[in-house]
Amino acid sequence: MARPNQTIRAENNRRDTERLFFPAGGFPHGIQLIFKKYDYKNLVLGAQGAKSKSQFSSATETGILAVELPMPSTLTDATGLQVNGFERTFLESFIADTLAPAFDGNIGDIAKNLFGLGESAMKGGIDAAFGDLDAKTDAQKSAASQGSKIASFMAKNIVGNVAPGIGKALSSARGTAINPQATLSFEGVNLRNFQLDWTLYPESKEEAATIKKIIRSIKRNILPEIQPIDGGVIEGGLGVGTVGGTSLNRAFLKYPAVVSINLLGIDESHFLRFKPCMVDSFNVDYGASGEIIIAEGGVPQGVKLSMGFKELEIQTAEDYQEPEPKGDVE
């Protein structure tokens, strides 16, 4: 893709946009971090005061910080799925194997038929136990025998759960063990995490000042702001209080910025694509070479930045569909 910072530069005419980049001369390939802050009050108050849905259907963007840096030292796309093992009890397996083909997946129908099945099974069990055995058909005798085996297995299973020692003794005596029928269950997709690292060495006093400004600007955007209980704004100062009105002035924390990540000057079809993220860690090492070295002017010779990101949405198969070919294919 072409350098997407061209679009951001067009937005830089806004008064609430700040743009920083290192090094001063730029690189043909790099990465762009766009921090966007939002005002969520319309989402909270809109239901009471808005005249239409459009007035509170989305948060209001209040500020942009665009930071351009060289390519990070590593760039890894790790996909995590929530696949966990579990053991099915005999009753669960019996119901699943017997009933699954008979239903179309409607939960209401399944519950209704399960109730009917239980009622019929109970009645049949009573008939089999107390009815005239000679008067029963071969099918009824077979059903009664099968029910007896199931009841015996269920009793053994219950004994094994309540008194494990007795259950194991019975299994040993019979030379059999209950099959745990272990299998896997898919339970979801993990949110992707990214760890990006940069080592920055300033070559001038101006670049050292730029690094300092980048660090402070990033922290100002990824950390929450204090908000009083009445929704006002804290003016200056870092006073901390626990009584009276002071504690109410620090009652809430506003959400920090959401980050969009763009790779610059590359063919994006060969690289990963990022969903909107939030920063969950930001570390600054002032000894980038392994020890702290002070350069001219009292500034660090090099700084290592490490940032951890977590995407706001999970990946799905639709994110990786191949684009449809354009025009006729011969």
Three-state secondary-structure class, residue 192: coil
Three-state secondary-structure class, residue 84: strand
Residue 93 is which amino acid? S
DSSP string, 286-320: S-TTSS--B-TTS-BS-EEEEEEEEESS---GGGG
How many of the other CB atoms lie within 10 Å of CB of 167? 18
Residue 131 is which amino acid? G
How many of the other CB atoms lie within 10 Å of CB of 32? 19
Q: By C-alpha distance, which of 43, 94, 38, 9 is closest to 312?
A: 38
Q: Tell me the average pLDDT of the chain.
A: 77
pLDDT in tens, 167-191: 667 667 777 777 778 888 999 999 9
pLDDT in tens, 289-330: 999 999 999 999 999 999 999 999 999 999 998 877 666 544
Residues 6 or more apart in contact with residue 205 via CB below 8 angstroms: 296, 297, 299
Length of the chain: 330
- Please report the pLDDT score of residue 229 as a whole number: 76
Q: By C-alpha distance, which of 212, 198, 218, 210 is closest to 304?
A: 198
Domain boundaries, the chain: 5-80+190-315, 82-187
| Whether the Cβ atoms of residue 59 and residue 43 lie closer than 8 Å to each other | yes
Task: Read off the tokens for 14.
Answer: 């806004």
154 membership: H or E segment, kind and range: helix 138-162
Residues 6 or more apart in contact with residue 209 via CB below 8 angstroms: none
Place 10 in a pLDDT band, splitting at 50, 70 and 90: very low
Q: Model pTM? A: 0.68
Lowest-confidence segment of 31-40, 162-171, 303-312 by average pLDDT: 162-171
Strands 60-70 and 30-39: antiparallel
Cis-peptide, bond into residue 23, ω within 30° of zero: yes
Report the distance separating Cα 149 and Cα 122, nearest Å. Answer: 15
Lowest-confidence segment of 83-92, 127-136, 221-230, 261-270 by average pLDDT: 127-136
- Please report the pLDDT score of residue 238 as a whole number: 47
